[in-house]
Amino acid sequence: MMGSLAFSSTSKQRIAELVARYPRKQAALIPTLYVAQDQFGHLSDAVMQLVADELELPLASVFATAMFYTMLRKKPVGTWHLQICANVSCGLRGSDHLVGLVQDVLGIGPGETTADGLFTLEIVQCLAACGYAPALQVNKKDYFNVTPDGLKALIEELRTQRTEKSPETEAAHA
């Protein structure tokens, strides 16, 4: 059943480095779940089982932690994950216009993915960039002082990069 699912040698090596940082294996769980997410895209039940086996933890412990944290994704997202902050400071500086623009240009609302699987829109909580509002994060990259025109241009740029993997998603996560 699990035959087709395995950590790459790079992932395995990364996990070993992480485990060595702590006196208990479970402490490496969140960073290991990121390694799994980077390799598999999201944390399916099978991926969580794989992590549980790798760290010798009960599946229930892995599941409880994965379910608690927003950034540990239980569902797939598009190639480009548009995360718009809509907390107070970004709201005061027009983040709703950015959400509206994505709706107009891509036809998706918060939590939705375009039919071609290229874009997912998500409203996120404070990104700690309040002085540079409104703030946006696309995959792992920050964009500050975002205007509707700027976002429109960015979406077009990302659309043409559809076959490339963005450099920032390949950056190893701690």
Q: Which residues bind other proteins (CB under 8 A)?
A: 21-24, 26-31, 33-34, 57, 61, 64-65, 67-72, 86-89, 91-93, 124-133, 137, 140-142, 168, 171, 173-174
Q: Which C-beta is closer to other proteins: that of 96 or that of 156?
A: 96
Task: Please state the φ and ψ torsions of residue 116, each to the nearest 5 degrees.
Answer: -80, 0
Nearest distance from C-beta of residue 64 to other proteins, angstroms: 6
Nearest distance from C-beta of residue 165 to other proteins, angstroms: 15
Q: Which C-beta is closer to other proteins: that of 25 or that of 152?
A: 25
Are 124 and 84 spatial neighbours (Cβ–Cβ below 8 Å)?
A: yes
Q: In what order do the strands lie in the sheet with 136-138?
A: 119-124, 80-85, 136-138, 141-143
Q: Write the DSSP string, 45-100.
A: HHHHHHHHHHHT--HHHHHHHHHH-TTS-SS---SEEEEEE-SHHHHHTTHHHHHH
Nearest distance from C-beta of residue 28 to other proteins, angstroms: 7
Nearest distance from C-beta of residue 19 to other proteins, angstroms: 11
Q: Which C-beta is closer to other proteins: that of 81 or that of 106?
A: 81
Q: Which C-beta is closer to other proteins: that of 25 or that of 159?
A: 25
Q: What is the Cα–Cα distance from 165 to 162, expressed in whole angstroms?
A: 8
